[in-house]
Structure 1
Amino acid sequence: MKAGFTIKKSKVKGPAREIQFLGVKWQDGWHQIPTDVINRITAMSPPTNKKETKAVLGAIGFWRMHIPEYSQIVSPLYLVIRKKNDFHWGPEQQPAFAQIKQEIAHAVALGPVRTGPDVKNVLYSTAGSHGLS
């Protein structure tokens, strides 16, 4: 014991195929949204004011990399939190809210980029009036 500290064996977890670290589920080199997070987000009720809308956007925004076309989906939600706008949850916001919860429930796992002579990697990007994706 040269370092001057000890670790309890009960605190050490051996080789595992799946771990959760900093709120992210890692499994076989891929990171995913943990099931408990998916359940909490999909159980959310529609926000009733700007503060709640910001909280929803914060909770789902952390996982935006897992959701294709995230910025386009949530753009109606950002309209209700603008300073110049009064809060009004309307017919544009409800479908966007339902869709983003659905996307979270079916989010893709992200893993390392494969490389090699037989692998073709393509980067797609689009731009529009409601953001980039």
Structure 2
Amino acid sequence: MSPPTSKKETQAFLGAIGFWRMHIPEYSQIVSPLYLVTHKKNDFHWGPEQQQAFAQIKQEIAHAVALGPVRTGPEMKNVLYSAAGNNGLSWSLWQKVPGETRG
């Protein structure tokens, strides 16, 4: 994944990874240099701090702990949701567990 090249791309990236804020320790500290380039009063400048934050948060996401066990078997149903647009893409994998109801 290439680094963002504009404020809008940076905002889209931060929006796409926002889910992880509750699952990665010190998430806010890691991505704070990325938020700096999105402020209206600041010109967009991708410097070493932003590059380091971008690389680190990607690494943290890649090594994040699974939020639940992946269950296997003929009765298990996997559902993959995906979305794509001009500014990015997202996906999530869900499992339907027989006998469990979740809102």
TM-score, length-scaled by structure 2: 0.63
Matched positions, count? 68
**Letter of the aligned partner of 1:96 in structure 2?**
A
In the other structure, the counterpart of 2:63 is 106
What is the identity, as a one-letter code, of the residue corresponding to 1:99?
Answer: Q
CA distance in 2 between counterparts of 1:99 and 1:74 reads 9
RMSD over aligned CA atoms reads: 1.1
Greater per-residue strand proportion = 2
Separation in structure 1 between the aligned mates of residue 21 and residue 62 of structure 2, nearest angstrom = 13
Structure 1 match to 2:27: 70
Q: TM-score, normalised by structure 1?
A: 0.49
Counterparts of residues 38-117 of structure 1 (less than 5 Å):
44-110=1-67
| Letter of the 1:88 counterpart | H
SS of the equivalent of 1:51 reads helix
2:47 maps to amino acid: G
Offset, 1:84 = 0.3
Amino acid at match of 1:84: K
Q: Which runs of 5+ in 2 are unaligned?
A: 69-103
Larger relative CO (CA 8 A, sep 6+): 1 or 2? 1
1:78 and 1:92 mapped to 2: Cα distance?
Answer: 11
SS in 1 for 2:65: coil
1:110 Cα deviation from its structure 2 partner: 3.8
User: Post-superposition shift, 1:51?
Assistant: 0.4
* Structure-2 separation of matches of 1:60 and 1:73: 12
Q: 96-105 or 64-73, which moves further after superposition? A: 64-73
Q: For residues 9 and 28 of structure 2, what CA distance do their matches in structure 1 show?
A: 19
Partners of 1:88 and 1:78 in 2: CA distance: 12
